[in-house]
Chains A and B, each alone.
Chain A
Amino acid sequence: MTAELGHFALILALCVSLVQGILPIAGAQYGRREWILLARPAAQALFLLMACSFAALAWSFYTNDFSVQYVAEHSNAQLPTLYRFGAVWGGHEGSLLLWVLMLSGWTVAVAQNSRTLDDTMVARVIGVLGLVTTGLLMFVLFTSNPFTRLLPAAENGRDLNPLLQDPGLVFHPPMLYMGYVGFSVAFAFAIAALLSGRLDAAWARWSRPWTTAAWVFLTLGIALGSWWAYYELGWGGWWFWDPVENASFLPWLLGTALLHSLAVTEKRGSFKSWTVLLAIGAFSLSLLGTFLVRSGVLTSVHAFATDPRRGIFILVLLVLVVGSSLALFAWRAPKVALGGSFGLMSRESLMLAGNVLLVVACASVLLGTLYPLIIDALHLGKISVGPPYFNAVFVPVMAPVLFLLAAVPLARWKHAEARDIALRMWIPGVLALLAGALVPRLMGGWTVLTGLGVALSVWIAVSGVIQIARRLKSGLPPSSFWGMHLGHMGIAVFVFGVTMVGGYQEEQDVRMEPGDTVLVGGHLFKMVGVQDVPGPNYSAARGAFEVSHNGGAVHMLYPEKRNYFSSTMPMTEAAIDAGFIRDVYVSLGEPLEGKAWAVRVYFKPFVDWIWGGCVLMALGGLFAMSDKRYRLRVKAGAMDTGLTKGATA
């Protein structure tokens, strides 16, 4: 019964989304006020219906209703309650439902927080979001209905994929989806602006906090996924350039470019059509990511069940959404007035350079991701593109971005003197060169990459500190200032972590028997033994290892090899001793003869800085969003005057 209610709510939601998508936009076009005013209530109703539908599915999981096919396929009576909840989005149908729920959530957030915005504009934004929702709801209802009944009901469920039975997974997809879906708001604002023909500073100011919010979620979502892969997969890596990882990274790169481009559009009125294009692009890449992940056109470690019908449906959706937006762009963008002019050397030009580089980086990752598909489609053979390609193209493109981002905040708008910037950057420059030359030697060997990585992170960090110190002399800066520097500082921390792990990690694959020792990265690992321990829905072999550093204190690590009752594939639970400047990491491989095991031991210097950097970036985003000016102007009602000024200018 609950499942039928959920299904019914979903059908109603489709009807409401049609109303929300069509009437407000038509109303804005033909000046029908009663249609325009429909936008907000429709958004609220849609959100309520989606929440009901999602709750119905969650309830089916909670009560172990194995007569619902999706529940039977992804849950099990022995599954702990937390994972039963996480299992709601552990499969294709449920994760799409979550996607749509979040989309309606973002829409309602826009509806509630736009009281002072021009009603026509809001109607268009909500309308565009409604159209996107309609498309996705049709996809859910026609190809991926999570409420399909299984007759006769299964006695017990097939259980959630053991890889996904982890607290990290409970939060990773929702975060990621919040980011993906969040770019739809920036997209809707851009389309609404194109429809109305009013692309101005006010439009940029409205979009900015929304874009930043989506970006924060996406940053955290990607970081969580990477962290999860690091400790759950037991391969010791944090990024694999897998197609599915790339699918989340592409919108991040474009979203980062969009954030900065929006800043220029808001402050100076420049880059308007470029910003609109980025807004369309960021959301298009989110949709493309969904397509790549859900259609199975690429092979990936994220082996999702695939169904060609779904692939065609998403492709059609992609064509409709992205194709029509780009057509609208081609038609309207030439009419957009040019913004303020700027000199060859100015903050605008430097930001544009950084922006273009980010887009190039994004394009090269996209090309690498799709290359196997393109080559196959042209019948030129089967190939796969691996980390060497991505590292070879990505690093050289991003290095200048990192170089620029430290200096850009010093450059003046409109016209800057290179000499001024150089004069104020000499301290970070000297320190960066020194650190780049010395730190790698201390760590055990200088290479071009480690030298470059350390130098760039010091360059960014020191110049950030100096700029903050200088700014503090003239009073407390606004929170957007803190946001920017926190975000950049996060990049510095991240780059440092990546450089250290990439240059100085040590790993050993060894055969160990109880009593054997191995020395990795100055840490002595002694295997005590392996014993069997039972779990709720698995049985495990748990190893015990003593770890000591330079004869110091001994602590224990307990890696596990789990056999889940529902799956034939054993799962690795690595044991990690995390630290500020290093992780040591033990994972059990295969049992060998007698009491011997294949054991993998890693020493990872500064690896946690990678995720720490991401958290700092996300914090920076939160600070930037909370800037007073987004609220003050709204309160003063300056939005509307800004809008009319922009329109007549």
Chain B
Amino acid sequence: MNAKTLIPLALFSVLVGFLAVGLRLDPHEVPSPLVNKPAPAFKVAQLEQADAQFSPEDLKGKVWLFNVWASWCVACRQEHPVLMEFARAQVAPLIGLDYKDQRKDAMGVLKRAGNPYDITAFDADGRVGIDYGVYGVPESYVIDKAGVIRYKHIGPITMEALQKTIIPLINELKKS
């Protein structure tokens, strides 16, 4: 045996190492470039009171959960009970962003299924959604006291994600 003929085996071992690590990663998971960046500013009308407006500025100094949803989104219905649970727990303000929707449809949903949101901002043309890099509804963001996005959840929030990740994170952020 000499060193030269061991090279292929060595290279292969490195490859296997990467493949083994790779197996535990999810290639479909796309991180948000917005995490740890200030939440994009906007000022839009509210859903229920068209003459009142909402801006993230209004919640400076508070930790809050920002949830993008729509009446046409099936996965949002699945997420809805989890959000109701979150609202009941009164951990932090929950702000909705009704994304590319009709006012009438959205208010219908909230009336029928219950309204977990403290305020819902109305994003009829989806412009706010674009700033937040929304590419699938629902998506949710945890925003801290300084107005910085600290966490992004893609897809419906599950009870497990709520209990194990989101609520502990909010409690942690509230202390600082």
State the A residues within 8 Å of B (CB): 273, 277, 280-281, 284, 291, 295-299, 308, 311-312, 315, 318-319, 322-323, 326-327, 329-331, 333-334, 370, 372-374, 376-377, 381-382
Contacts and interface: CB of A to CB of B under 8 A. Distances in A.
Interface of B: 1-2, 4-6, 8-9, 12-13, 15-16, 18-25, 27-31
A296 B29 CA distance: 13
A327 B9 CA distance: 6
A318 B23 CA distance: 14
A285 to B, nearest CB: 11
SS of A interface (majority): helix
A373 B9 contact: no
Given A370-B18, A373-B18, A376-B27, A334 B5 contact: yes
SS of B interface (majority): helix
Contacts of A381: 31
Contact of A373 (B5, B22, B29): B22
Contacts of B19: 291, 297, 315, 318, 373
A436 B16 CA distance: 44
Contacts of A329: 5, 8-9
A114 B8 CA distance: 31
The 5 residue pairs across chains A and B that have the minimum distance between CB atoms? A377-B21, A326-B9, A373-B22, A297-B22, A299-B27
A308 B21 CA distance: 12
A571 to B, nearest CB: 23
Contacts of B27: 296-299, 372-373, 376
Contact of B23 (A277, A299, A311, A327): A311
A334 B22 contact: no
Contacts of A311: 23
B16 to A, nearest CB: 6
B9 A319 contact: no
B16 A319 contact: yes
A330 B8 contact: yes
Nearest to A336: B5
A1 B25 CA distance: 40
Given A273-B5, A334-B1, A334-B2, A326 B23 contact: no
Given A297-B19, A334-B1, A326 B25 contact: no
B18 A374 contact: yes
15 contacts: A291-B19, A298-B22, A308-B24, A326-B8, A327-B9, A329-B5, A329-B8, A330-B6, A333-B5, A372-B27, A373-B18, A373-B22, A373-B27, A376-B25, A377-B21
A372 B28 CA distance: 12
B13, B20, B23 pick with most chain A CB within 10 angstroms:
B23
Contacts of A376: 22, 25, 27
A314 to B, nearest CB: 9
Contacts of B4: 334
B170 to A, nearest CB: 25
Contacts of A291: 19
B64 to A, nearest CB: 27
